[in-house]
Chain A
Amino acid sequence: MTSFIQLLVSGLATGAIYALIAVGFTLLWQTSQTINFAQGEFVMLPAFFILEAMYLGAPFWLAILIGIALSAVFLGILFKLIIVDPMLKHGVLPLVISTIALSLFMKEMVKNLYSSNAQPFPALAPPIDLHFFGAVISTQSLVVLGVAISVVLALHLLLHKTRLGRAMQATAQNPTLARILGIPVRRMVLYTFLINAVLCAIASILISPIYLAKFINGETLGVAAFLAAIIGGFNQVRGAIFGGFILGILDNLSAAYLSSTYRGAFPLLILIAVIMWRPQGLLGRVEERTV
C-alpha cells in the first residue's frame, strides 16, 4: 500500500507535466488546426536555453526568466510566423510534415551544438525525502505537482474568467463569428501560440531535473502529449489535463505491477481502445462535420 501511494504521487507528478504539454497541444489544434509534431522538442529545447543563460553567468532564477522569454519568441512568435502562417493555406497535411521536419531540425541542432550526452539540470527544490504514513515522497514530486497544478489553474482562470480568455475561446469555436463580433482573431491565435510556448518552457523546467537535459527527450514527451490529448479529448482543455494525469499514473503503476519491459505499451493500448470506442476522447465532445 505504501509503495502504491509513492507510485501514485510520482505518477501524478509526471502526469501533471504531461498535462501541461498536452494542454498547449490542444490549444494550438483548437485555434489554428495545427497538429504540432514538434511539441516534444518544444519541451526539450527551453532547458538548453536556460543552461546556456547560466553558462553565460546568469543566476538560476534569471536564467529561467530568460528561458521562458526566449521560448515565447522562438517557439511562440517565430514558430507561428515562419512555419505555421505560410503553411495554413496548404491545409493540415503539409503543416504536419513541416512540424515533423522542425522536430528533426531542433533535435539535430541540439545534438550537434551540445553533444548527445545528457546535461545535468538544476532542480527547483532540494531533493529531500518526506515520510507520510510510511510512504517516501520526494519534495521534487511535490514541487512539480504544485507548480503544474497552479499553472493549469491560472490557465483555467484566464480562459474562463477573463474577457481575453473568452475571446480566445470564441476564436477557437467559430473564427468567422468571432471576427464579426469584433474580436481580433489573428492576435488571439498568436496568444495561444505564446501560451503554448510558455507551457512547454515550464514543463521543460519541471521535467529536466528528472530526465536530465537531452536532445532525445522530446520523442517520448511528444508522444505522451498526443496520447494524453487523444485519450482525454482533443477538443477540450480539461480533456487534455485529465488525459495527462491518467497517462502519468498508468505509466507508473503498470511499470511497477504489470511489466516493466512493456511499460510503453499500456498507454498505447488504452489509446487504441479509446479511438475504437470513444474517438472523441473520454471528456471530448463529438465534433460536428462541416461541409
Chain B
Amino acid sequence: MRYLPTEALLDGLPHVLWKEVDEGWIRFDPAAAQTLLLTPIARFVLERVAIAGASAGVGDLVAAVLREEPEAGHDACRSLVEAALQALVEAHLIRPSAP
C-alpha cells in the first residue's frame, strides 16, 4: 500500500500553523477549519508524503524514520508509522493508493 497527499492537504499547506505541545504537534488549517493533535512521528510522516509530492509506502517511511533514529527498533517503528498513516488517512490529509 502506498500513500498520496490529498487535495485538502496540498491546498492548506501555505496557511497551516503549527504549535508544539507535550504530546507532539497541534496542526491548524484555517482554510479547512481543522485542528489536529499529531504525534511527532505523524508529523514526520505527513511532511514526507507532502514534500515528496509522490506516493510513499510503509517501507519507505519506516526506512526514513530509521535513518533519523537509527537506534529505534524496526518493528516498533513500523507499528508507529502504520498508526500515524491510519490517523492521517482518517484526517483526510493523505489517502491510500494502489501500489
Q: Do A and B make up one complex?
A: no
